[in-house]
């Protein structure tokens, strides 16, 4: 009787174990890691954090209780925040990035490639120092001064106050009101449906010029600029705000 060497059996068992661990799951049709966007460069850590956020948003508890749970999650773990990015964002442990559909964002001799991305953040101001991150911004013209807000990529606020902008966000069919404050603080809040909706506005030249200067080193990011009048629930007036536009 021929004996089988244990040095032969061990690699075979190890291979079987690897196969068992890599058993196919439905989410693998989209990405290797659960919670990661389709066709993205995405870390496992981002997928875990993204799924945790989705679970909180899908809870059917009262709106006040749901907001409290979500805000605690933001303070301790963070939430997914959509941004623009350069290739360097792929080094961030809590990030997902994918190709932008905009032709102007493709790499050229003078400009690096610009990606769409999502990162996990606790405070929007942290994006300023995150290598590879390009935060979306909005510049609002108050009576005596201008205010720069960091906002989620591609979003326009439903309304604002003197401290922040409120966005109506959607995740898996569930809607929530996200407030981005001038201080960088992010929180979920109760949506004020009675607030007048944003309306189209003519961009004041000085406001547009100031916005462009703040993006002077990112000449391929936007193709156009547009303004909206956003209702301020504190002053009970519309505030003209300029945004960047890249492509459809």
Backbone torsion region of residue 91, taken as left when φ is above 0, otherwise alpha when ψ lies between -120 and 50, otherwise beta: alpha
18: which residues sit within 8 A by CB, 6+ positions away?
Answer: none
Closest by alpha carbon to 115, among 20, 40, 48?
40
Closest by alpha carbon to 100, among 120, 81, 117, 118?
117
* Residues 171 and 54: beta-carbon distance below 8 Å: yes
pLDDT in tens, 97-110: 999 999 999 998 88
- What is the pLDDT at residue 248? 65
* Residues 47 and 160: beta-carbon distance below 8 Å: no
- What is the pLDDT at residue 22? 61
DSSP annotation of 185: B
Q: What rounded mean pLDDT belongs to the chain?
A: 89
The Cα-based distances of 227 to 55, 81, 166, 210 in angstroms read 35, 23, 17, 13
Closest by alpha carbon to 230, among 144, 139, 154?
139
Q: Quick one: average pLDDT of 175-197?
A: 97
- What is the pLDDT at residue 61? 67
Closest by alpha carbon to 43, among 89, 2, 3, 10?
89
- Structure-token match 């997914």, residue found: 80
Q: What angle do CA 237, 163, 195 make, to 5 degrees?
A: 40
pLDDT in tens, 51-104: 999 999 998 667 778 899 999 999 999 999 999 999 999 999 999 999 999 999
- Rounded-to-10 torsion of CA 209, 215, 216, 219: -110
pLDDT in tens, 115-156: 999 999 999 999 999 999 999 999 999 988 999 999 999 999
């Amino acid at each position: 009787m021929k004996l089988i060497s244990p040095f032969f059996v061990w690699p075979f068992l190890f291979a079987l174990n690897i196969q068992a661990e890599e058993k196919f799951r439905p989410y693998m049709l989209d990405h290797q890691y659960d919670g990661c966007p389709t066709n993205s460069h995405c870390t496992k850590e981002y997928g875990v954090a993204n799924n945790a956020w989705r679970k909180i948003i899908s809870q059917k508890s009262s709106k006040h209780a749901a907001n409290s749970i979500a805000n605690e999650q933001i303070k301790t773990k963070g939430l997914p925040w959509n941004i623009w990015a350069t290739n360097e964002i792929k080094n961030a442990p809590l990030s997902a990035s994918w190709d932008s559909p905009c032709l102007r964002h493709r790499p050229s001799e003078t400009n690096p490639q610009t990606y769409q991305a999502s990162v996990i953040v606790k405070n929007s101001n942290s994006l300023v120092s995150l290598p590879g991150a390009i935060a979306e911004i909005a510049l609002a013209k108050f009576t005596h001064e201008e205010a720069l807000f960091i906002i989620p990529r591609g979003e326009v606020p439903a309304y604002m106050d003197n401290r922040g902008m409120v966005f109506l966000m959607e995740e898996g069919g569930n809607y929530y009101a996200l407030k981005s404050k001038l201080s960088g603080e992010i929180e979920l809040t109760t949506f004020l449906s009675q607030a007048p909706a944003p309306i189209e506005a003519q961009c004041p030249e000085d406001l547009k010029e100031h916005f462009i200067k703040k993006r002077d080193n990112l000449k391929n990011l936007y193709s156009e600029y547009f303004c909206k009048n956003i209702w301020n629930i504190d002053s009970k007036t519309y505030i003209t705000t300029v945004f960047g536009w890249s492509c459809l």
